[in-house]
Amino acid sequence: MRRKVAVPAIMAFFAFSAGSAQAEPKNGFGLDGGIASHSITGPLGASYQSSGLSLGVDYQFALSDSFSLNPFLMTSGESASGTVTPVSTAGHGILGLQLRYWINNAFIGGHLGSYSEMLSNTTGNITTSTSVSGGGAGLVAGWENPNGGMFVMGQLDSANLKYPAATNKLSGFRLSLGYRWK
């Protein structure tokens, strides 16, 4: 089933980017905001789902006409529900490094990063929270105006977070609209 969806999506990506004027990545600071959605599953039956708003910053270093390196920082605040203790909010952060391959104004790439998570619950006047971290990786794809300005990107994330009792698997998705100063 995945192959049936992935092949048309990849073909559409290349078709969309082929119609654009030839461009190359430019150096510059970027700021983006959008939506985020995460879920966690663990060996002890722990699970939750969360969704909310995301904010990110990066700096793009053009390595050539086809490649760029983007150190980035992203954070999100989300409403949560699930079986990981009573959780009402989740906060996620990523400090990472993306390598992007450019085809005209479109890009596709991957990243490695340090992921953090904070789960909180407020009952009455008492707030309890749990904070964890771990390593992870992800994929990114998007389009950017060749002269600077607006860009859009989607990002998939996967990380192993080390809780006191077990290591849980975090999966995430972000969709962002941003602006790059070049």
Instruction: Give the CATH number, domain containing residue 33.
Output: 2.40.160.20
Q: Is pLDDT of 176 > 70?
A: yes
Integer Cα distance of 60 and 99 in angstroms = 10
DSSP class of residue 105?
T
Integer Cα distance of 131 and 46 in angstroms = 15
- The count of domains in the chain is 1
pLDDT in tens, 15-59: 444 444 456 788 999 999 999 999 988 776 668 899 999 999 999
Q: Is pLDDT of 4 > 90?
A: no
Prediction pTM value: 0.82
pLDDT of residue 87: 67
Helix, strand, coil % over all residues of the chain, rounded to 5: 10, 70, 20
* 95 token code pair: 């400090």
**Containing structural domain, residue 116:** 2-181
Q: Which residues pair with 62 in a beta bridge?
A: 68
97 vs 122, more confident:
97
Highest mean pLDDT among 23-37, 56-70, 116-130: 56-70
Q: What average pLDDT does range 147-154 have in this prediction?
A: 91
What are 128-133's contacts with CB under 8 Å, separation 24+? 128/85, 130/85, 130/163, 132/161, 132/162, 132/163, 133/161, 133/162
pLDDT of residue 85: 56
pLDDT of residue 147: 78
* 165 token code pair: 């009792």
Tell me the percentage of the chain whose pLDDT exceeds 90: 58
